Amino acid sequence: MSQPCSQDDIVLCQRSGATCILTLNRPQRRNALETATYQLMNRYLDEALDDPTVANLVLRGAGDFFCSGGDLLALETRAALAVEERAALIEHLHTLVRRLRSSPKPVIAAIEGGAAGAGASLAFACDLVVAARDSYVSLAYVKAGLVPDGGGSAFLALSLPHQLAAEIALFGERLPIERLAAAGVVNRLVEPGQALTVALQLGEQLAGGARQSQTAILELLDSAQREVFERQLDRERDLMAVALGSAEAAEGIAAFKGKRAPDFARLY
């Protein structure tokens, strides 16, 4: 692997052959997302998509975790904002998700440890998913009195049986990645520590193929669901913007900060 071609505290961009590797780099916070993350990711995507020597991309997290999603402590400050301002901030995440999903070059997620919240949305916006056998996915929004964003509910509804989707979203528990693999939404299950290696092998295989054909195939696959996905992103944005100002969210975030279980029952 070559030296980083661009580097920042929270996102790294590297090359390995014809593959561009984008690394979420906040390992001390399990690669939690913030506005600056979206800005840098979009900038690096621009560079990779404009570079004819880049055939595909790999998205990964630094350390032993893919991405823990939005930073709840940062989300807490949004409760004081107007609903329209909250919605505008959510659009930063949605813009990145749209770009990953509609990328004309294949994007491969390499999951170690886990993908939670918006981190799971980023992973499943990718075209291919490689995941360590001991990893998991969690959409625990409901435990903080929130709702999925980043396309999380669209992924559940479009990719999984209703009952499994409801279980994941309503209980917010960790779902072993092997259950998702059995449902057909993980392409390669690998031993822990091998997700990046196998993702790069897939990238090398794709780079040796018909790249224009790959782009056309991705356009066909994306266009078949684009309208539904776009409508769902808008619904997620609107409902999440409202949820962030709710009493349930205040209790859920306070419980997270206090390292206790939320007591939603007292609100009713």
pLDDT (tens digit, 9 = 90+) per residue, 17-69?
Answer: 999 999 999 999 999 999 899 999 999 999 999 999 999 999 999 999 999 99
Query: What pLDDT is recorded for position 6?
Result: 45
Query: What pLDDT is recorded for position 8?
Result: 56
Residue-averaged pLDDT of the chain:
94
Query: What pLDDT is recorded for position 50?
Result: 98
CA distance 210 to 217: 11
Mean pLDDT along residues 117-136 = 98
Query: What pLDDT is recorded for position 91?
Result: 96
Residue 2, pLDDT above cutoff 60: no
Mean pLDDT along residues 82-99 = 96
Domain ranges of the chain: 6-192+203-211
Query: What pLDDT is recorded for position 63?
Result: 96
Mean pLDDT along residues 216-225 = 96
The model's pTM is: 0.93
Q: Show Cβ contacts of residue 180 under 8 Å, excluding neighbours closer than 6 positions.
A: 131, 137, 160, 186
CATH topology of domain 6-192+203-211: 2-enoyl-CoA Hydratase; Chain A, domain 1 (3.90.226)
Q: Which residue in this structure is represented by tokens 């360590």?
A: 132
Give residue 16's Cα distance to chain centre: 22
CA distance 115 to 157: 18
Confidence of residue 80 (pLDDT cuts 50, 70, 90): confident
Q: What is the largest CA-CA distance in the chain?
A: 59
Query: What pLDDT is recorded for position 230?
Result: 96
- Strands, E assignment, the chain: 6-7, 11-16, 19-24, 56-61, 107-111, 114-116, 128-132, 136-138, 175-176, 188-190
Residue 115, pLDDT above cutoff 50: yes
Paired strand residues for 115: 67, 137
Query: What pLDDT is recorded for position 1?
Result: 39
CA distance 205 to 185: 20
Query: What pLDDT is recorded for position 5?
Result: 44
Query: What does the pLDDT look like over 143-180, one tens digit per residue?
Result: 999 999 999 999 999 999 999 999 999 999 999 999 99
